[in-house]
Amino acid sequence: MNRQRIVITGIGGLCALGNGAPAIWDAMRNGRSAIGQLVHSPLHDLKTRSGAEITELPDHGIDRKQLVSMDRFSLLAVIAAREAMAHAGLVSDETNTYRMGTIVGVGVCGWEAIEENYRAILLDGRNRAGIFTVPKVMPGAAAGQVSMSLGLRGPVFGVTSACSSSNHAFASAVDQLRAGRADVMVAGGTDAPLVWGIVKAWEALRVLSPDTCRPFSADRQGLVLGEGSGMAVLETYEHAIARGATILAELAGAGMSGDASDIVAPTVDGPAAAMRACLLDAGLAPEEVDYINAHGTGTKANDQIETAAIKRVFGAHAGKLSVSSTKSMHAHCLGASGALEMIACVMAVREGLVPPTANYREADADCDLDVTPNVARRREVRVALSNGFAFGGTNAVVAVKAA
């Protein structure tokens, strides 16, 4: 199959692990978990106090006129996108602005603004909402704000598929590049769910851990919510070579599927189908994969089902795979998770280092893969998969290949 190769030339991000992709990767490779007690988020009467929050934003220098129209999830996206573009050495101008675009995945959109307005109107007795409420809360706001901040006038839109949003954004960006609609796409995800209403809703689902996230460990008690954003600059191989760019890795393929089963309970079939589709799209045999950044949320059912799906797809090779869940460190950042995990995959293939599953304490017979417990491991990583499986049975998997 001969078609356009898509490469990654820049990455950026911020989350509780740190501001900037280098800081995030340094924490991941050293197995440092950023999960702890939430202290900056106004959580009112919530029982849940564990999370992974950004304690201090970097000095971003965003113009106040733009800043007042942005909810936190959009602000995080713009900061990460700026870093990724600078890392790629790209600037838009009149010669390329219509050949550059952005696609940003979100899980829960602008709930900070929604909550502020509900409280102002219902509790404080104000008679009108904030003037920028609608443009702040719309799911496509982050993509629009990234476009405006970087001057990207090519394909620009948002995607939302809960926890698979980032991987669907990457897949959609690859499609734009392969279709010839753009030469460069800034893609990734963002979410800022640490607000009272969102955490309260997750609390009702009874899937939140009371302390920390322990993916694949027999004593795991659930997931932990976090906030953050991750972005990657994707280019056609020809465009990157022509401008002399440093190629970090190749985004070799993407696979998607739907469970068509249950709004919250996952299946083995759906995730397995997405992984198979990704391998087919990338032209890879299962035996060529070295590392899987697992969806790995830390819930009893999800970790068991993902293990079973990996075994179904990879057969005997499953025992030779390195698997880990970096959500054990940055928590579940919903629509941003896949983009933060993209940073892990890119750096894993570049450095030959598998980041660990932190907080692991006890083996589980139903999660008997090599989950890289607690300590990073040196090994050649030629191909890494990043799994994203979401409520609604929406699954998306991407393959990162060494350049």
CA 371-374-375 angle, 5° bins: 95
In contact, 298 and 328? CB cutoff 8 Å = yes
Q: Is 367 annotated as catalytic? A: no
CA distances (Å), origin 79, targets 22, 234, 316, 395: 14, 17, 42, 27
Closest CA to 327 of 238, 249, 216, 252: 216
Catalytic residue among 15, 109, 163, 278: 163
Catalytic residue among 168, 332, 345, 367: 332
Q: Is 295 annotated as catalytic? A: yes
Closest CA to 339 of 146, 187, 219, 120: 187
Catalytic residue among 213, 295, 345, 367: 295
| Residue found by looking up tokens 């892990």 in the block | 344
Closest CA to 169 of 336, 389, 401: 336
In contact, 26 and 352? CB cutoff 8 Å = no
Query: Residue 158 corresponds to which amino acid?
Result: G
How many Å from the N-terminal Cα to the C-terminal Cα in the chain? 19
Q: Compute and round to an integer the Cα radius of gyration of the chain.
A: 20
Q: Is 278 annotated as catalytic? A: no
Residues 6+ apart with CB under 8 A from 156: 101, 102, 103, 143, 144, 146, 147
Residues designated catalytic:
163, 295, 332
